[in-house]
Structure 1
Amino acid sequence: MKQKYEELLGRSITGISITIICILVFSILYFVGAKGISMFVSGDGSIVDFLTGTQWDPGDGLVGALPMLVTSLMVTLTSALIASPLALILAIYVSEVSESKLAQFIQPLIEVLVGIPSVVYGLLGLEVFVPMVRNAFGGTGFSILTGVMVLTLMILPTVTSLMIDGLKAVPKHYRTASLALGATQLQTINRIVLKAARPALLTAIIFGMTRAFGEALAVQMVIGNVLVMPGSLLSQGSTLTSTLTMGIGNTILGTLPNNALWSLALVLLIMALFFNILIRLVGRGGDN
């Protein structure tokens, strides 16, 4: 009877917890979705103008979010392109090449870097990357390139840690069988380990992109926050998150400027859902 009671209690607690989580998730989706489409429902703006317009001044009825979309994608994709190969090299070294004692030191160090607050990375960008870009290319130093450098530094520990876990999850007998057949360690890593861990490695990259796309404070501190269409990596710009965080406290609920910012929040939510679905699809492909 005691065992049945404990099992019933465990199932009840689990069911209640799952129900609460589902209610919270659907409440967030409904709230952000309802607020995000209010601008389009009221007729104050159209979806086409919102997604293709290049001028952002909601006070004058201009709600073109394309510059923020382009800037967000630029910093996200560029930082992922830089961080991914660096993370892969470091992950291979830790999990496949280095001695156990050195690996035991490096991996906790990487995990510590994952937990550093984003404002610290932003301050590092102000003190190091902004002067570096200013001395190398001129101008103020505040640019999309500076934001990319900060984001690369931010997502590198996360992507590396996930890649290390993915490589270590490959069964050891894969390596043993490959070496027994005469393959070198490099061939084993390249042709066996990396192929077996490919879904986990792709998941790590997508997870890093998710964090980069949703980052606000660190990027806001170094990117310049200029609401114009970027011409290059040296241009100043403003991401969706930086525009949202800077403007939401200066608007009145129910007005066009406030509704336009909620539309930006809806775009961020949709992109977050897209990245999560992509992670699930990649992981499912690995299971198959």
Structure 2
Amino acid sequence: MAAQQQTVHDRLLRKNNRSAEKIERKGKLIVYGCASIIILATISITLFLMTKGLQAFVVNGVNPISFLTGLDWNPTRSEANGGPVYGALPFIFGSFAVTILSALVAAPLGVGAAIYMIEIAPSWGRRILQPVIELLVGIPSVVYGFIGLTVVVPFVRQYVGGQGFGLLAGTIVLSVMILPTVTSIATDALRSLPNGLRESSLALGATRWQTIRRVLLPAAWPMLLTAIVLGMARAFGEALAVQMVIGNARTIADSLTDPTATLTTIITLNMGHTVQGSVDNNVLWSLGLILLVMSYIFIIIIRFLSSRRSF
């Protein structure tokens, strides 16, 4: 009788093991399938943009040096006047200018808000500030652009100067847009620090501000830089909100109040007015390729900074 019960038990055990192995294989298949789809999508987008973006240079004969360093963008110029010219430097400069300026504004505000939430604010302060940050994340970019168009642009025109449309208005709008990204990641970075750092610093007689400035911020610095770079990556690729307030002039801005344009604004403004396969269409794809390359550079910087984390 005991031997028979042992046999039944062994059969049930083998059956359960086989069932568990099947579930594990299915789980691995689903996970590997999802990962493969993401990898294939990334490779496909990269190859597609490279194929489309290089046609302007390979097929249409556009000089890549002149394209990257030229100051004049005039696709409609007649052949009698020398033909169309494609100089993308004003748009590259505009993208970098508005990205860097918005990061300079949003970085101290975002890191300061994170310090307040984690190290200073009482529980009710966190309960108020956290929903505000989440609300800013959920606002569509077109709403930011419309607010910038109706509030920021008139304010700049009246109190700063110029037409209101320009680099300053784009910087203000983008700063608000990337502020939640910087704040959220900076908050996670400070929250992930071991409590032993705070306790050891306070035990040695340091004040709260000395602990924040000389212990916590240096320890979390790689992740704080990651937050700033992620915010810059979003700012670099933003199109609609910037397009509504920056002026979309095909020149390099001489001051903060001058209108200019970015890579994304030129692509969105002109892509619908070009013919597939034409030179004008291909050079817009080349601008998109520049955006992709810059996105990869931002990702590499983020990976490098993340690898330097101490905790």
After TM superposition, the score normalised by the length of structure 2 is 0.90
- CA distance in 1: counterparts of 2:102 and 2:33, whole angstroms: 40
Specify the SS of the correspondent of 1:286: coil
Gaps spanning 5+ residues in structure 1: where? Answer: none
RMSD: 1.2
Q: Is this contact kept in 1: 2:162–2:258, CA < 8 A? A: no
Aligned residue number for residue 281 of structure 2: 258
Aligned residue number for residue 49 of structure 1: 66
The one-letter code of the counterpart of 2:280 is: P
Aligned residue number for residue 102 of structure 2: 79
Q: How many angstroms does 1:158 deviate by? A: 1.5
Aligned residue number for residue 80 of structure 2: none
- CA distance in 1: counterparts of 2:66 and 2:205, whole angstroms: 61
- CA distance in 2: counterparts of 1:196 and 1:10, whole angstroms: 38
Q: How many angstroms does 1:178 deviate by? A: 1.1
**1:129-168 correspondence runs (5 A):** 129-168=152-191
- CA distance in 1: counterparts of 2:208 and 2:252, whole angstroms: 48
**1:213-228 correspondence runs (5 A):** 213-228=236-251
The one-letter code of the counterpart of 1:76 is: T
**1:27-66 correspondence runs (5 A):** 27-60=44-77, 61-66=84-89
Tell me the percent identity: 48
Of 141-150 and 225-234, deviating more is 225-234
Q: Is this contact kept in 1: 2:185–2:224, CA < 8 A? A: yes
Specify the SS of the correspondent of 1:197: helix
Aligned residue number for residue 210 of structure 1: 233
Aligned residue number for residue 111 of structure 1: 134
Per-residue displacement from partner, 1:141-166 (whole Å, max 9, x unpaired)? 11111101111111112111111111
- CA distance in 1: counterparts of 2:132 and 2:232, whole angstroms: 22
After TM superposition, the score normalised by the length of structure 1 is 0.97
Q: Is this contact kept in 2: 1:55–1:63, CA < 8 A? A: yes
State the aligned residue count. Answer: 288
Q: Is this contact kept in 2: 1:133–1:146, CA < 8 A? A: yes
The one-letter code of the counterpart of 1:16 is: G
Say yes or no: does 1:245 pair with 2:268: yes
Say yes or no: does 1:14 pair with 2:38: no
Q: Is this contact kept in 2: 1:225–1:236, CA < 8 A? A: yes
Q: How many angstroms does 1:213 deviate by? A: 0.5
Of 90, 93, 115, which aligns to 2:113?
90
Per-residue displacement from partner, 1:106-157 (whole Å, max 9, x unpaired)? 1122122112100111011011110111002333211111101111111112
The one-letter code of the counterpart of 1:241 is: T
The one-letter code of the counterpart of 1:14 is: V
The one-letter code of the counterpart of 1:248 is: M
Q: Is this contact kept in 1: 2:90–2:261, CA < 8 A? A: yes
Q: How many angstroms does 1:43 deviate by? A: 4.3
Q: Is this contact kept in 1: 2:60–2:279, CA < 8 A? A: no
Gaps spanning 5+ residues in structure 2: where? Answer: 1-17, 78-83
Of 71, 81, 92, which aligns to 1:69?
92
Specify the SS of the correspondent of 2:76: helix
Per-residue displacement from partner, 1:72-110 (whole Å, max 9, x unpaired)? 111000110011111111111111001122112211221
- CA distance in 1: counterparts of 2:310 and 2:20, whole angstroms: 35
